[in-house]
Structure 1
């Protein structure tokens, strides 16, 4: 009799615990759905609305007391600039859906000493998320990148990339960078200038496009060749059509 009573008590206690766990799981699932919906709306809005700022631009503006940022539509940027950026950062940009699996495999084979981040991933990080290497940020980036690839065109991705990238300390976007380094409009950038701007990425604070080191000149020359190559073999077609 005592044993039966003890069993009933355990069941009585277990009931509320199970109900509480189920309640937590239900609300956690609802929370995930709400967050996913808000992220989808945010990504979709930026198909037509130019990002007014980004978390990193805001933080740099607070740190520096202001930044130089000017937007330029892709039609107002020299085509060679987009090709140079793709050649420098993601030569297979037109061929992947957000992740370059070949580059990822190569990075793993090299012991992760090489970067494998695509332009699409960089746009998600720069336009929506924060800097740093936290697992949460990487998880959000991995979830948002294919969604952005589905919603945005490749032209839109490269356009936003060129407008949120930092080209010197506090200098954001290729329009501001062209004026800052060369005193020209983004539409008037030469192949050499475009290659040097692309060469300062992704570490613009330690590199200069107007006073390039020998190493940067060499990198820019390789980028210029790569830009010509992807124009010839069709790997620029997705953002030039």
Structure 2
């Protein structure tokens, strides 16, 4: 019986026939995703993002949320400095990933702690909450794209407007009024630091009823905000 050639074997093996098709579909999916990401980021350079996926989830769960988009020039500058000092002090010095912080986290064996404001903004606007390799992979692809299209000031502006500050309270406008009864432009350094202190865990921390630990964290953030203003690490998002 004559032996089958390699070409004939591939034709008779359905799995082999599917591999080139799968590759073409994968390439198409990557190109399509990259195009959508770029177009969305380009649009959001000028237009505020709509309610995020997580906001919509909370609306379904709670019935309503508090949220109002506020331009950066209507937010107290100390609020932006406080958020950056609290979450990503080297924000002006990296391109979306803080490699020094990542190395420190790996050396300590921690599973989290190196996420930048750029990464958090991409996650909050385009992705979903929770930890998964798929989400982290998408975040890793999308963050540099957004960094290229958005200014640093725009990233901070979007971040402050979509971050959750309490259950059902999204964005600095709703947070300032909810906790302190003031507009975001009227936030004091102490109030701004309190808001920044609750950002990593808004459902379990309160800016209006701070624990002893949160008071210490607030003081640290106030010092950090003043420091990055003095040493120039706030220059990329300040006027």
Identify whether the pair has TM-score above 0.5, normalized to the shorter chain.
Answer: yes
CA contact (8 A) 2:179 2:207 kept: yes
Give the one of 3, 7, 10 matched to 2:4. 7
- TM (normalized to structure 1)? 0.94
CA contact (8 A) 2:37 2:145 kept: no
Name the SS of the counterpart of 2:21 in structure 1.
Answer: helix
Give the one of 82, 91, 94 matched to 1:93. 91
Give the one of 35, 58, 61 matched to 1:60. 58
Return the offset for 1:65.
0.5
Between Structure 1 and Structure 2, how many residues are aligned? 237
Determine if the alignment matches structure 1 residue 227 to structure 2 residue 219.
no
Give the one of 20, 39, 42 matched to 2:40. 42
Name the SS of the counterpart of 1:12 in structure 2.
Answer: helix
CA contact (8 A) 2:105 2:112 kept: yes
Q: Which residue of 2 aligns with 1:149?
A: 147
Return the offset for 1:118.
0.3
Q: Which residue of 1 aligns with 2:109?
A: 111
Q: Distance in 2 between matches of 1:31 and 1:204?
A: 35
Return the offset for 1:88.
0.3
Which is higher, the Rg of structure 1 or of structure 2?
1
Return the offset for 1:12.
2.5
Q: Which residue of 1 aligns with 2:198?
A: 200
Return the offset for 1:7.
2.5
Question: Which runs of 5 or more structure 2 residues have no equivalent in the other structure?
Answer: none
For residues 142-191 of structure 1, the C-alpha deviation after alignment (integer angstroms, 9 at most, x for no partner) is 00001100000000000000000011100000011110011101000000
Give the one of 230, 236, 239 matched to 1:238. 236
Return the offset for 1:42.
1.2
Which aligned pairs between 1:180-199 and structure 2 lie closer than 5 A? 180-199=178-197
Name the SS of the counterpart of 2:206 in structure 1.
Answer: coil
Q: Distance in 1 between matches of 2:60 and 2:19?
A: 43
